[in-house]
Amino acid sequence: MVILTITLHGTLESGEKFNQEIDPNIEHFFLNGKQLKSNDLTPFGDCKNLQALHLYNNSLEEIDLLPLRRCKNLRRLNLYGNRLKYIDLTPLSQCEQLRELDLDSNQFMSINLKPLSSCLELVHLDLNTNQLTMINLKPLRSLKKFACLFWKTTNLFI
């Protein structure tokens, strides 16, 4: 059975429901500036060719990355400019092609980077403009290609 389209579901900041049909063969998906408060990423688990997911400049308060563990070709995840306070990066440990992760301009006070130690292609991590006061960067030490970390904080444990 061939899936022709899949439907992405979410809720806008106004409370209105949001639905969008997407092609499961999509490689790059942009859903930015839509004032999304919540978004179910489950349909992306069927997008085997997905290389980039951009959900920046929304109002996301939480996000479950679990469906992305099936996106083996994911290279870029952009969650810039949301209202995220917590994120579990564990599903990204299965995204071995991940090169860029943008978590800038959210509300994280802490974040566990250990799952990223499996992302051997990771080059860029942006943690700027969060409320981070302490973070353990040791999981990034084993990443040979890692070159670019952006952050604005005071107490970093490396």
CB atoms within 10 A of CB 109: 12
Cα gap 1→60, rounded to integer Å: 33
| Count of CA atoms in the C-beta half-sphere (13 A) of 105 | 11
Residue 77 lies in a domain: yes
Cα gap 104→150, rounded to integer Å: 8
Residue 137 lies in a domain: yes
Residue 35 lies in a domain: yes
Domain count, the chain: 1
Q: Is the pLDDT of residue 86 over 60?
A: yes
Q: Note the pLDDT of residue 104.
A: 96
Residue 1 lies in a domain: no
Q: Is the pLDDT of residue 113 over 90?
A: yes
Q: Is the pLDDT of residue 22 over 50?
A: yes
Average pLDDT over residues 55-63: 96
Residue 100 lies in a domain: yes
Q: Note the pLDDT of residue 153.
A: 56
Q: Is the pLDDT of residue 146 over 50?
A: yes
Q: Note the pLDDT of residue 114.
A: 97
The CATH number that applies at residue 29 is 3.80.10.10
Residue 97 lies in a domain: yes
Q: Which domain holds residue 50?
A: 6-157
Q: Is the pLDDT of residue 110 over 60?
A: yes
pLDDT per position as a tens digit, 130-140:
988 878 999 99
Mean pLDDT in the chain? 92
Contact indicator for 34, 8 with CB cutoff of 8 Å:
no
- Model confidence at 154, pLDDT cuts 50, 70, 90, reads very low
